[in-house]
Amino acid sequence: MTADATQPALILIVEDNEKNMKLARDVLQFNGFRTLEAVTAEQGLTLAAEHRPDLILMDIQLPGMDGITALKRLREDPATAEIKIIALTAFAMKDDRERFVNAGFDGYLSKPISIRELPSQVRQYLGPS
Ligand code: MN
């Protein structure tokens, strides 16, 4: 459900690693998505409230506030509570998916980001437009 159906979906990427940010942004833009970028959770919260993106890709390990705390803040704020939020993490333990879903994420993508799969993964999480 996009805020403005005439515009491509807006994706907020919260990621402190410059290479991962560039990769995610380039792949998403190449596939027609609009993007916003935040390198800290705090910046991500501000951008989310201002722009109400359709989906947030949220790194877990961030300087300052971590991604799980940021998720809770977003869920607490009525302005951002309904935004789909996908955990983006390098953790590779097999129980991670359950842990992140229990924390309230709508989904989970493990790094490294797949250039081939990211666009379809994001479309899948966005659901029918
Ligand atoms: Mn990180």
Let me know: does 65 contact 42? Beta carbons within 8 Å.
yes
- Asked if the model's pLDDT at residue 3 lies above 60, the reply is no
Decide if 14 contacts 56 (C-beta within 8 A): yes
The arithmetic mean of pLDDT across residues 20-30, rounded, is 97
Query: What does DSSP assign to residue 58?
Result: E
Q: What is the pLDDT of residues 26-77, one digit of tens each?
A: 999 999 999 999 999 999 999 999 999 999 999 999 999 999 999 999 999 9
Q: Which pLDDT belongs to residue 92?
A: 62
pLDDT recorded at residue 91:
58
Q: Is the pTM of this model over 0.75?
A: yes
> In angstroms, what is the span from residue 84 Cα to ligand 1's centroid?
19
Q: Which amino acid is at 86?
A: I
63 Cα: distance to centroid of ligand 1 (angstroms):
7
Burial class (CB in 10 A: 0-12, 13-18, 19+), 113: buried
| Segment holding 84, helix H or strand E | strand 84-89
Beta bridge pairs of residue 35: 11
DSSP 32-56: T-EEEEESSHHHHHHHHHHH--SEE
Could you report the per-residue pLDDT of 73-127, keeping only the tens digit for each? Answer: 999 999 999 999 999 987 566 677 788 888 999 998 988 899 999 999 999 999 8
> Distance, CA 124 to ligand 1 centroid (Å)?
24
The SS3 assignment for 106 reads coil
Contact 13, 51 (CB under 8 A): no
